Structure 1
Amino acid sequence: MELAQAKHAFITGGASGIGLGVGKALAAKGLRITIADIDGAAIDAVLATEGEAFRGVVLDVRDRAGWAKAKAEAEAAFGPVDLLFNNAGIASFGYEIADMAPEAFDRIVAVDLTGVFNGVSAFAADMRARRHGHILNTSSMAGICAPSQAIGGSYAAAKFGVVGLSETLRVELAPHGVGVSILCPGQTTTGIAQNSMKLGGDMRLPPGRSVSDSPPAHSSPCEVGTVDELAERVLSGIEGNAPYIITHGRGWWPLAHARHVAIEAAFDGMYGDA
């Protein structure tokens, strides 16, 4: 979608981190921005500095009635949403799957995966009817290749789910002129650890680390990127209707490649080389 044809973006997790960075970049292109976030104080801080291009709404992405209310308020203020960015997410770092509390698993899947579906459910049919719009869903490099580091099995499961949901949605909406992209950031300086704790998340931290450390306390195979760098790639990916937007992922490629090689070998073992 050409950003020159877009007027209104709705961004969850929009009061900090990746959501706010992309919101600022889109506002610089002339879009009006609705930032939806569970943290009302963070929304107020953004609105105090960003001017009339921004408005905010408190939203827990698990709340479907809240989605309907937020959509109605956003479109009453700024008109139909042209760009939906399902970005809100939490994590539970440091726990192997066998050690995770079931309620932690459920909470992360509810925010990171079902929350994405709730956004799609609220906006996609309208975009399809108007034959105009773009949906950007945040997954992760952990949604392409589950790393060996204990970043939390529920996080990887939810982010893999976002990829599957988005790939299907892209096929369904393409004939109607609506684009879908999957954002797969590598390790980026955001407040995900702190935001996760606000929703009851838990972090098993190594000695000497605290939840205020950024990025979250787990090892990473690649460099740490900035939100500004990521935002530039996001805008380019939207304009090109890229299926996947990869950022700062150079060090992740060996893991992704190994996974694809294993899948290819499984097919070759079943069907031979033909």
Structure 2
Amino acid sequence: MGRLDGKVAIVTGASRGMGESHAKRFIKEGAKVVLTDLNEEAGQALAASLGENARFIKQDVTVAADWDRVVTETEATFGNITILVNNAGILGPVVNTVGLDEAAYHKVMSINADSQFLGAKAVIPSMLKAGIGSIVNISSLAGLRANYGFPNLAYVASKFATRGMTKAIASEYGANNIRANSVHPGFINTPMMVEATDEGGGDAMREIFLGRLAEADEVSSLVLFLASDESSYITGAEHKIDAGMSAH
């Protein structure tokens, strides 16, 4: 018996990296999963490899109409939605604040933060019909501390926003049996992280107690727990998975 039997999930940014890992674990644990991403080729291939309980839908997470379409298609295919993992995100330019272009700032905020608002707004009505729901918003260690190795105001601002939105949703919908939690990874071995630093984690390695990058599946274990009924009394909280980086 799977830990997510009977659950219907949407996972954004699911064509690679942590999103891909979350989707695979959810399927393994019995959920029906809609994977969304702009990378249609990779997303379709992944969904096909996961079998009949997975479906890919191309989505721009910054567009409200795309969210409405994803919710409608998910309900028609699998039923009411009970899990939302807002995973899609970008790092943005690594530059000092004075050098940060306004358009680049708004792009990061739109993809990392605005999309999570749009996702919750679109999915909560389905969870209300189901009578249960778990929203897992992927933030970052940068949502807890201002800088963790390089300058990036837009990224930090977006990840702090995620943390605040999560608490607001938890307080508003707890009485409806809908929970919301944020996950704050440190340095994870994903394509985005390697592109930003290197395969060894760059200078940040000196702050990591365990002396290594995390694998995406290690984050998926936490996301799975928060999505499942095992965490039924946990909501409105931030969950660090950073090998001690925030303990300094």
Q: TM-score range by the shorter chain?
A: 0.7 to 0.9
Q: Which moved more, 1:119-128 or 1:244-253?
A: 244-253
Aligned length: 238
Say if 1:141 and 1:249, in contact at 8 Å, map to a contact too: no
1:246 aligns to what? 240
User: In structure 2, what is the Cα distance between the partners aligned to 1:19 and 1:96?
Assistant: 29
Larger Rg over CA atoms: 1
Query: How far does residue 177 in structure 1 lie from its aligned partner after superposition?
Result: 0.7
Secondary structure of the 1:52 match is: coil
Q: Specify every segment of 5 or more residues in structure 1 that has no aligned partner in the other structure, as ranges.
A: 195-209, 255-274
1:234 aligns to what? 223
Query: How far does residue 26 in structure 1 lie from its aligned partner after superposition?
Result: 1.1
Secondary structure of the 2:123 match is: helix
In structure 2, the CA distance between the partners of 1:216 and 1:119, relative to structure 1 (3 Å rule), is: farther
After superposition, where does 1:22-171 map in structure 2 within 5 Å? Answer: 22-147=22-147, 149-171=149-171
Say if 2:61 and 2:119, in contact at 8 Å, map to a contact too: yes
In structure 2, the CA distance between the partners of 1:17 and 1:151, relative to structure 1 (3 Å rule), is: farther
Give the structure-1-normalised TM-score.
0.80
Give the structure-2-normalised TM-score.
0.88
Query: How far does residue 163 in structure 1 lie from its aligned partner after superposition?
Result: 0.3
In structure 2, the CA distance between the partners of 1:215 and 1:137, relative to structure 1 (3 Å rule), is: farther
1:179 aligns to what? 179
1:40 is aligned with what amino acid?
E
2:222 is aligned with what amino acid?
R
In structure 2, the CA distance between the partners of 1:214 and 1:75, relative to structure 1 (3 Å rule), is: farther
Query: How far does residue 244 in structure 1 lie from its aligned partner after superposition?
Result: 2.3
Between the two proteins, what is the percent identity of the paired residues? 24
Q: What are the superposed Cα offsets for residues 84-131 of structure 1, whole Å, 9 maximum, x if unpaired?
A: 111100012421111111111010000000000010110113323442
In structure 2, the CA distance between the partners of 1:248 and 1:219, relative to structure 1 (3 Å rule), is: closer
1:264 aligns to what? none
Say if 1:139 and 1:185, in contact at 8 Å, map to a contact too: yes
Query: How far does residue 62 in structure 1 lie from its aligned partner after superposition?
Result: 0.7
1:156 is aligned with what amino acid?
V
In structure 2, the CA distance between the partners of 1:250 and 1:125, relative to structure 1 (3 Å rule), is: same
Say if 1:34 and 1:54, in contact at 8 Å, map to a contact too: yes
In structure 2, the CA distance between the partners of 1:144 and 1:6, relative to structure 1 (3 Å rule), is: farther
User: In structure 2, what is the Cα distance between the partners aligned to 1:211 and 1:150?
Assistant: 9
Q: Specify every segment of 5 or more residues in structure 2 that has no aligned partner in the other structure, as ranges.
A: none
User: In structure 2, what is the Cα distance between the partners aligned to 1:151 and 1:138?
Assistant: 20
Say if 2:181 and 2:238, in contact at 8 Å, map to a contact too: yes
Say if 1:234 and 1:245, in contact at 8 Å, map to a contact too: no
Q: What are the superposed Cα offsets for residues 195-236 of structure 1, whole Å, 9 maximum, x if unpaired?
A: xxxxxxxxxxxxxxx679557867453241001111112222
In structure 2, the CA distance between the partners of 1:100 and 1:127, relative to structure 1 (3 Å rule), is: same
1:240 is aligned with what amino acid?
S
Query: How far does residue 193 in structure 1 lie from its aligned partner after superposition?
Result: 5.9
User: CA-atom RMSD, angstroms?
Assistant: 2.2
User: In structure 2, what is the Cα distance between the partners aligned to 1:192 and 1:92?
Assistant: 10
Q: What are the superposed Cα offsets for residues 210-265 of structure 1, whole Å, 9 maximum, x if unpaired?
A: 679557867453241001111112222333143222213412222xxxxxxxxxxx
